[in-house]
Chain A
Amino acid sequence: MKFILNQEIIEISVPLGTPTLNFLRSVGMKGVKEGCHEGDCGACMVLLGELKDNNLMYKATTSCLLPIGEVAGKHVVTIEGLNQEELNPIQQALVDRGGVQCGFCTPGFVVSLTAFFMNGNLEKDNILTSIEGNVCRCTGYASIIRATEQLSEQIDIVKNSKKERIQALIDAKILPSYFTDIYNKLKELKKTLQQNEGTFIAGGTDLFVQKKTVDDPIFLSKMNLAGIWTDKTHIFIGAMADTESIRSSVELNTILNTENHLAQISSLPIRQKATIGGNIVNASPIGDLTIYFLALDADISLKFNGKKRIIKLKDFFKGYKTLDLKKGEILEWIRIKKEKKLFSFEKVAKRMHVDIASVNSALSLKYDNNKILEPHLSAGGIGPIPMYLEKTSSFLENKKISSDNVKEAAQIADTEISPISDVRGSALYKRLLLRQLIYAHFISLFPELEGLL
């Protein structure tokens, strides 16, 4: 397979499931650091550039969770590929403001901040979001934040430049000049084809945490399963849609507030990798997207050798990590009704950002004539599967909004769940937390309840 590593087109033959981090370090890119090998620290951050609809798009991504097969035909940029003779303005800002202590995390921060300049909406995005996936144990972040403030000047320069982004960034000395050639070089590179049998890899953000390498990867990214689209009655989300696209989807945000709700999932680099299909098929009892869409009464479509079946998402989960999924069957898309409902999503984790929930929950309902209609309540972290709370949902049907009804609903929910004590909290905590999150749903939808619960 061929790809561009910094300036050069290279051709390699290593197993396609090898993590890109391991490959890069083995060829001497030692500025790419290993801090966790699980997507949690950002020390291994690289830029990944590819042509999408003929546009060259870059994102920062954790190379530890990136199988090398995924970079075929793409541009991988390490810190070495960003260095110029002088420090660039990002590097300089970190030095000037003391944002560097031991230096182990630093290349990762530089790469993530570069991605902000390359891909970010400079009018609107918060530069800090670009580094939410980078851990620094030395600085306490204050100096790094000051460094980002020093970059506001560069942001203005790039924003006001009439040139296209990459050229503007070269002018601003943020990128080295070889970036001008990448577009043409990428056009010439073919993406490799792949085998038919093996392990499906979507974003790899669960898979490569569980296994360090995958022997027989099938890259779902090559199958055209991404995208979000609508018909008259439904909104469809392709299984390969990543969390960040779902978050920012115009279609979804007309009926839901995914923009805010999903901001609390993982970090930007992970959100840009992690797919909804992976979240569902991984079947973690605490998957955020799964819980989210369970409460929207979603359907899913499964495909095998051209044969297709559509089932309810809630019927997909049979037991702990057992699914109504045949070997070789692919989750194709998920769909929800195109209608506006009252909707609330709650997630509590030990750390509010970039952490897996202790308990999460979602609720959708209509409220008409003082009556709850079509309520759907889901919750995660309180049983072996992502749970649709059937009894509680049907209890709520046709009920009035009152603190008594909400309390009773919480009590019924408590009988439906079977949390266990683990690293994310004691069983007692999870029971209490679910009760509180159910209260929180109703308080945020019906603020008048606040004084009553």
Chain B
Amino acid sequence: MNDLNDLTPPHTRGESIFVDDMPEPKCMLHTAVFASSIAHGKIKSLYIQNAEKCEGVIKVLTAKDIPGENQIGRIIQDEELLADGKVVFIGQPIAVVLAETKEQAKQAIDSIIINYEELPAIFDPRVAAKKGSLIAPSRTFTLGDVDSTWSKCATIIKGRADSGGQEHIYLETQGSLALPGERGKIILYSSTQAPTTIQKTVSKILGCDMNAIEVDVKRLGGAFGGKEDQATPWAAFCALGVYHTGRPVKLVLDRKEDMQMTGKRHPYSTDYKLGLDKEGKILAFSAEYYQNSGAAADLSTAILGRTLFHATNAYYIPHVRVTAYPCRTNIVPFTAFRGFGAPQAMFVMECILSQVAEETGIPVEVLQEKNLLKDRDQFPYGMYAENCHARRSFSKVVQDSNFDELKRKIEDFNAKNRFTKKGISIMPICFGISFTSAFLNQAGALVHVYNDGSVNISTGAVEMGQGVNMKIKTIAARTLSIKPERIRIESTNTGRVINTSPTAASTGADLNGKAVEFACEMILERLRDVASEKLGTGGISIEDEIVFLEGNKTELVWEELIWSAYMNRVNLSAQAFYATPSIYYDYEKEKGKPFAYHVFGSAVTEVTVDCLRGTYTIDKVHVVHDAGRSLNYLIDLGQVEGALVQGIGWMTIEELQYDNGKLISDTLATYKVPDLRFAPKIDTTFLEDADNPAAVLQSKGIGEPPFMYGIGAYFALKNAAQAFRKDKEWNYSSPITPEKLLLYLHDME
């Protein structure tokens, strides 16, 4: 089978339907959201009557209109759908206008009158921690004995690292369309990674059973974690609108609303301490991570956990104590974003090694290599590294990129040029695959074979550009050994596949693909019986749509086989279920085996800095990535490249800027994501002989891990900047914008 994604042609024709493209039902209402303009305060009065009198307005929804629970918190129940009595961040929804047209709904917003009593607000996670304003208790992972190890260290360094947040900029903004059904049923079309989350939350909000809510998802125009929990409110508003008016309701945020009202990647601030022996082997590591969680939990605690799971990145450290605090502040709740807390941890570890290199004079790549993981090394959470490719990928990228020669050339170049300096770095990664909440590692699939031989598949996986549908199609085609053209992947629908986990944590194809494989095998089993009946007993197999008996080709082909099965009243539909085996976690002890496996890889990044102006280019990135046995080369390559560039953006030009809790970088004009010219040349190689028995068809999850190669850009830029000047202390703070770089390179008298 070729490696195209044959589901994409309609995209190029503009024929793929996203929520906002669906035909609008008659009598559909439009919406506009009225949100808090202050970061923290009591609502003294809220006057919506004038808005309700505006032309075209049918109703204005407030907290009072919620028949069930006013609650959207999933892990921790601490977030209201509509603010009731007090507001805790700028952009928090307070009321929703339902009107005949979008313009009318927007206009009516201006007629809502609100009075606040402002309260002091917190924006800095360290301040929040000091005041005891935490979302949940802190968590600590320990390995070995840190305290008694410090005295054995030849070098000890301490410092602080800060990483900024990141806006998802999925190109399709959040949105939902709700239709009234019979007897209280509501059908929701939503741009969400988590259909069941919406189903469950909406049923709570409306006070009905889950079976009254059907969520259907065709595809998303990008998500990156931003439509996991953050898709819920918009769907809930539509459902609430249907509940009150009996009319279809649509809500699609415009870009600015989306940027102002939805959560982003968590900023972190971290204190660290690390000790090494004379040779540069790391002996002990301790850190305190202050996560800016925002005003409500959202997924913060799970993200915090993943930070701790990735505190040591791809390195083995025998003595570790790391603590993380989820700090409640008055900013839109921060949320999932590709990497889910791991990038923040890996950034800290690389800051540390960079600082060690500066202080000891040992080249950073030597330090890295010395401490890379190998099989049977233990992670701080108790799991052992298996099938570890950390060293293999590192040495391969060093070799493939000609790292040593590059470094020499760069030194030469830098010596000859006053203002133009080049820099280079290596970024190794080790990323655990599985939801760290073990119960989420389950998936269902429903496979139908129609009596003409065509196949329809539903799973819990949501297609958002990551190619999961194509992978599922591939898995089914390979398992059934039929032409992929016979297979159609259906929308993700809570009526067909139930209790789905979000499509997240790079597990979409792993979990759902495995369930599909099982369902296909169930059908195959029945088909083999049908064939035996026709052909006589013996080993039956199907290859390329032809039935083989004892390895010999027969006349029986797929369509005929299916027809016979149907005529013999054999079930041609199968539902299957998969739960990742042997993963567990003990939260008391903070030990267990939370991951099915790890993904490894390394990247070399080359950059050029214009030290006169503080500007830079990311020239080239050489990636060696462990994709297991790739299910689809083109899709996996695209995941590596896309994630890498997003990671570079996070480290460099993507800067969330606030003015007293109000986001001021709230458009594409003021929040800059990488464009065509900013993106580097990328050279990607997949590790060979890297089969992964722990996942479907020996593959590996790929959505998130390559994001963290982007961290290399930061250190390559530092490397270049320090070729210009070294006499100044480096402030480990990302993103390293042209502003920060220029302020490092020059002083203003």
- Residues of chain A at the chain B interface (Cβ within 8 Å): 30-38, 40-41, 43, 78-80, 83, 87, 90-91, 94-98, 100-107, 110, 128, 131-132, 134-145, 209, 346, 348-356, 358, 422-426, 428-429, 431-433, 435-437, 439-440, 443, 450-451
Contact = CB atoms under 8 A, between A and B. Distances in A.
Contacts of B638: 98, 101, 138-140, 143
Contact of A37 (B255, B645, B682): B255
B11 A100 contact: yes
Nearest to B668: A40
Interface string B149-179: 0000000000000000000111111000000
B748 A431 contact: yes
- The interface centre, meaning the residue of A31, A103, A104, A352 with most chain B CB atoms within 10 A of its CB, is A103
Contacts of A353: 675-678
B655 interface: yes
Interface residues of B, number: 76
Contacts of B676: 128, 131-132, 134, 141, 144-145, 353
Contacts of A97: 634
A102 B221 contact: yes
A102 B465 contact: yes
A436 B221 contact: no
A94 to B, nearest CB: 5
Given A43-B171, A103-B465, A135-B675, 10 more contacts: A38-B668, A78-B14, A107-B14, A137-B169, A137-B646, A139-B638, A140-B679, A350-B737, A352-B678, A443-B419
A102 B677 CA distance: 21
B562 to A, nearest CB: 30
Contact of A352 (B15, B17, B615, B665): B615
Contacts of A425: 739
Nearest to A209: B669
Contacts of A145: 676
A353 B672 CA distance: 10
Contact of B12 (A107, A132, A140, A433): A107
Contacts of A346: 613
Given A143-B638, A437-B613, A354 B675 contact: yes
A143 B679 CA distance: 11
For the complex of A and B, the 6 pairs showing the least CB-CB separation, nearest first, are A31-B14, A103-B11, A102-B465, A104-B221, A140-B645, A101-B465
A96 B4 contact: yes
Nearest to A97: B634
A426 B738 CA distance: 12
Given A98-B5, A140-B674, A429-B739, A451 B219 contact: no
Contact of B634 (A98, A428, A436, A450): A98
A31 B465 contact: no
A358 B739 CA distance: 9
B467 A143 contact: no
Contacts of A87: 9, 12-13
A95 to B, nearest CB: 5
A429 B742 contact: yes
B614 interface: yes
Contacts of A30: 14, 17, 20-21
B614 A348 contact: yes
- The interface centre, meaning the residue of B5, B615, B677, B742 with most chain A CB atoms within 10 A of its CB, is B677
Nearest to A354: B675
B713 interface: no
B707 to A, nearest CB: 11
A423 B665 contact: yes
B612 interface: yes
A212 to B, nearest CB: 9
B668 A83 contact: no
B635 interface: yes
B637 A98 contact: yes
Contact of A40 (B172, B617, B669, B748): B669
A440 B611 CA distance: 11
Contacts of A428: 743, 748
10 contacts: A83-B14, A87-B13, A101-B222, A102-B222, A102-B464, A104-B172, A104-B465, A140-B682, A432-B742, A450-B418
Nearest to B710: A140
Contacts of B646: 137, 140
Contact of A348 (B10, B615, B643): B615
A143 to B, nearest CB: 6
A426 B9 CA distance: 46
Contacts of B255: 35-38
A110 B16 CA distance: 14
Contact of B668 (A36, A131, A358, A435): A36
B252 to A, nearest CB: 9
Interface string B181-221: 00000000000000000000000000000000000000111
B642 interface: yes
B229 interface: no
Contacts of B170: 102, 104, 137
Contacts of B8: 94-95, 100, 103, 106
B737 to A, nearest CB: 6
Contacts of B672: 350-351, 355
B739 A34 contact: no
Nearest to A359: B613
Nearest to B172: A104
A104 B18 contact: yes
Contacts of A94: 8, 12
B466 interface: yes
B746 A436 contact: yes
A34 B174 CA distance: 12
B653 interface: yes
A137 B604 CA distance: 22
A422 B659 CA distance: 9
A253 B672 CA distance: 31
A100 B613 contact: no
- The interface centre, meaning the residue of A128, A134, A350, A450 with most chain B CB atoms within 10 A of its CB, is A350
Given A91-B13, A432-B748, A440 B613 contact: yes
A138 B642 contact: yes
A68 B21 CA distance: 21
Contacts of B675: 132, 135, 141, 351, 353-354
B641 interface: yes
B612 A104 contact: no
- The interface centre, meaning the residue of A43, A80, A106, A431 with most chain B CB atoms within 10 A of its CB, is A106
Contact of A433 (B464, B614, B637): B614
Given A100-B12, A352-B615, A423-B664, A105 B669 contact: no
A73 B674 CA distance: 37
Contacts of A102: 11, 170-172, 219-222, 464-465
A24 to B, nearest CB: 11
Nearest to B748: A432
B667 interface: yes
Nearest to A30: B21
Nearest to A35: B171
B387 interface: no
A423 to B, nearest CB: 5
- The interface centre, meaning the residue of A140, A346, A349, A355 with most chain B CB atoms within 10 A of its CB, is A140
A127 B16 CA distance: 26
B657 interface: yes
A350 B653 contact: yes
A106 B18 CA distance: 13
Contacts of B169: 135, 137
A102 B13 CA distance: 13
Contact of A435 (B6, B14, B748): B748
Given A139-B641, A350-B672, A423-B670, A95 B613 contact: no
Contact of A426 (B10, B12, B739): B739
